[in-house]
Amino acid sequence: MELTDVDVYDPDNFVDGVPHEMFATLRREAPVFLHSRPEGSDFYCVTRHEDLVAVNRDPKTYSSWLGGATIDMTEDGLETQRMMMLNMDPPDHTKLRKIVNKGFTPRMIRELQDHLEHEATTIVDNIIERGQCDFVPEVASELPLIAIAEFLGVPREDRKVIYDLSNRLIGFDDPEFQTSREDAFSAAMELYAFAEGLAADRRQNPKDDIVSILLHAEVDGERLSDLEFNLFFLLLAVAGNETTRNAISHGMHAFIEHPDQYQRLVDDPSLIDGAVEEILRWSTPVMNFRRTTTTDTTLGGVDIPEGAPVVFWHMSANRDETVFENPYEFNITRDPNLHTMHVAFGGGGPHFCLGANLARAEIKVMFAELAKRIPEMELNGPVRRLRSNFINGIKEMQVKFAPS
């Protein structure tokens, strides 16, 4: 493939699968590449692991606040988005992160994991006698939804609301979920309203959940404003649901395509921790983020001017041949020293994923239960992917297995 054939901006090129050949061409020929867009503006495309980590860990040079975290952030939406932690730079980001960290204590994650093991059993109970299911809504989406509902204190009966609204928020490039970015804005407003109702209830009736903790958490005399809480709720509801759901879906798809690896996990449950990290590397649910340069700089030998959009691709970095041996091989016994090298959670820096350990816990309990009770699984129809160059999503995956 030639550089002239590369187009990782067009979401149509991701419908049949991630265009790994394009990313391999970029890593080999132009790891920091000035990529054009149909409307005429350009962005710098960063595809190597080393360069991605460098960008992530240098918020002074590569700002989240200036241009937002996504490729197509518009000026109209940027002002509100700048109040979301994802689009902040230090020191504002640091202050907000210190507050929300109070809700992500090891104790809360540990207590939730014990509960999730029971929920994973129930999820498998609900499908195992039928011998077939749509893995995405019936398995992969269930545990993250339960986890985020428990974590946020959302009533169990309302968790499908979170599912539907988050689909509309991240699926704006997929006609099945919505037809316009205006609908994504509408979905965000509905989530804000949901958050406000939840906050009002917790102020009157505090509980042992993250909402109550966040509303009362204080760092250096500062608390979350109502808008900051609403924006964080939206971020957590989407990120805590969508990403882990897609990691579990892609993880099962990988096991189906590599049955020898699934058999290894079935035969030896102690391999589960390595399997979780390989699933994360393989799936990379969030494929890219954007930064904007605050000054003229040089990255990978390429001069980049001030004010330029820089988009770094986690999906490409997680297939970087200079870091991962045989990167296109799904291998749950990959060298454990490399497990910490994958960048599915962002590659370090101030924006390292706040919910990384929660996501790991969910993936671990779900696949431990599946491997224990469903030792073989295969596809029962075509896999339908999300039309997106941002989220590596699976919409539908019909599977079959021996009923029990």
Per-residue model confidence (pLDDT) at position 76: 65
**Contacting residues for 374 by C-beta, under 8 A, at least 6 apart:** 124, 128, 401, 402, 404
Per-residue model confidence (pLDDT) at position 349: 77
Kindly give the parts of the chain with pLDDT less than 70.
74-77, 80, 83, 103, 170-181, 219, 337-339
Per-residue model confidence (pLDDT) at position 360: 92
- Full-model pTM: 0.90
CB atoms within 10 A of CB 329: 12
Q: Is 175 helix (H, G, I), strand (E, B) or coil?
A: coil
Determine the angle formed by the axes of helices 259-267 and 272-283, rounding to 10 degrees.
Answer: 150
Per-residue model confidence (pLDDT) at position 308: 96
Per-residue model confidence (pLDDT) at position 219: 65
Per-residue model confidence (pLDDT) at position 93: 78
Residue at 71: amino acid letter: I
SS3 content of the chain, % helix, strand, coil (to 5): 55, 10, 35
Rounded Cα–Cα distance for residues 333 and 43 (Å): 37
CB 367 within 8 A of CB 276: yes
Q: What is the full DSSP assignment across 253-280?
A: HHHHH-HHHHHHHHH-GGGHHHHHHHHH
CB 257 within 8 A of CB 363: no
